[in-house]
């Protein structure tokens, strides 16, 4: 049976992916900080969904991940969809450090543990949701864009290492643009995507085993254009 672990499955893209995989017959282990939200998803298929309350910033989170994997009976696919972020022009210390703790430290803790598990158990696929914010430094959200860039580089390095070690591990980096989720407070942003569309495109990229996928096509065009802008000009641009 296909077995997947999703970190950050209480809301947003992670929760919607869980629903789609349930419909597709997968055995799931879902985790997040909000247990009550996980229980709502579990009710869709109680016999195929295990839950675990996990805070990725906690030092015991990797141990909890292994507990969840064992309760599912293994793991073929690992999806990391946890994360926080704000626009923080004033560089409030609490927000910057919390973003780093979750999006960098927590990300490395959980993704690294998933990688080690797959290295020991014959391989699998690791898919992490980073962001188009990781493609360039964005002034309104320094810690967010920096940690997303870290995630993208980390994932690239993991794939290189897996290839060098001849491990059967496929890495997929999902880079969405603005998605109507709790993270954005359901505010209006340009080219906003619906959660259902983002989740569907994410699963398509995972099934195609793409190394990296920017979703959707509008954001692919925009980020390509970003990368063509000279750094000396980018540093002077005003981004709202």
Q: Strand locations in 22-156, DSSP E? A: 27-32, 49-53, 77-80, 124-129
Report pLDDT for 183. Answer: 60
For the chain, the domain total comes to 1
Identify whether 191 is part of a domain: yes
- Please give the order of strands across the beta sheet that includes 3-7: 49-53, 27-32, 3-7, 77-80, 124-129, 169-176, 212-215
Mean pLDDT value of segment 194-218: 93
Report pLDDT for 95. Answer: 93
Query: Which pLDDT band, with edges at 50, 70 and 90, does 189 fall under?
Result: low
Report pLDDT for 109. Answer: 97
Identify whether 239 is part of a domain: no
Identify whether 240 is part of a domain: no
Residue 207's domain comprises 3-234
Report pLDDT for 139. Answer: 83
Identify whether 140 is part of a domain: yes
pLDDT at 27 over 80: yes
Identify whether 36 is part of a domain: yes
User: Tokens 């004033």, residue?
Assistant: 90
Report pLDDT for 199. Answer: 94
pLDDT in tens, 54-107: 999 999 999 999 999 999 999 999 999 998 888 888 989 999 999 999 999 999
Phi, psi of 89 (to 5 degrees): -65, -30
pLDDT at 231 over 90: no
Identify whether 54 is part of a domain: yes
Residue 97: CATH number of its domain: 3.40.50.720
Report pLDDT for 223. Answer: 85
pLDDT at 187 over 70: no
Task: Provide the whole-model pTM.
Answer: 0.92
pLDDT in tens, 93-150: 999 999 999 999 999 999 999 999 999 999 999 999 999 988 888 888 899 999 999 9
Report pLDDT for 18. Answer: 96
Q: State the Cα–Cα distance between residues 119 and 29, nearest whole angstrom.
A: 19
Mean pLDDT value of segment 4-11: 95
Report pLDDT for 225. Answer: 87
């Amino acid at each position: 049976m296909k077995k997947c672990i999703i970190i950050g499955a209480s809301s947003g893209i992670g929760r919607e992916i869980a629903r789609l995989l349930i419909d597709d017959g997968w055995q799931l282990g879902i985790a997040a900080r909000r247990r009550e939200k996980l229980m709502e998803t579990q009710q869709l298929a109680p016999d195929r969904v295990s839950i675990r309350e996990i805070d990725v910033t906690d030092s015991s989170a990797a141990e909890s991940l292994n507990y969840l994997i064992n309760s599912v009976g293994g793991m073929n696919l690992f999806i990391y969809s946890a994360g926080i972020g704000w626009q923080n022009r004033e560089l409030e210390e609490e927000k910057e450090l919390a973003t780093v703790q979750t999006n960098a430290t927590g990300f490395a803790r959980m993704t690294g543990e998933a990688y080690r598990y797959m290295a020991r158990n014959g391989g699998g696929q690791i898919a992490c949701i980073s962001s188009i914010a990781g493609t360039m430094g964005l002034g309104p959200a320094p810690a967010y864009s920096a940690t997303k860039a870290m995630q993208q580089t980390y994932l690239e390095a993991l794939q290189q290492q897996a290839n060098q070690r001849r491990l059967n591990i496929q890495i997929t980096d999902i880079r969405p643009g603005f998605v109507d989720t709790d993270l954005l407070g359901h505010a209006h942003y340009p080219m906003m995507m619906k959660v259902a569309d983002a989740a569907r495109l994410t699963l398509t990229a995972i099934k195609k085993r793409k190394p990296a996928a920017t979703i959707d096509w509008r954001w692919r065009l925009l980020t390509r254009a970003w990368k063509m802008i000279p750094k000396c000009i980018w540093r002077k641009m005003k981004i709202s």
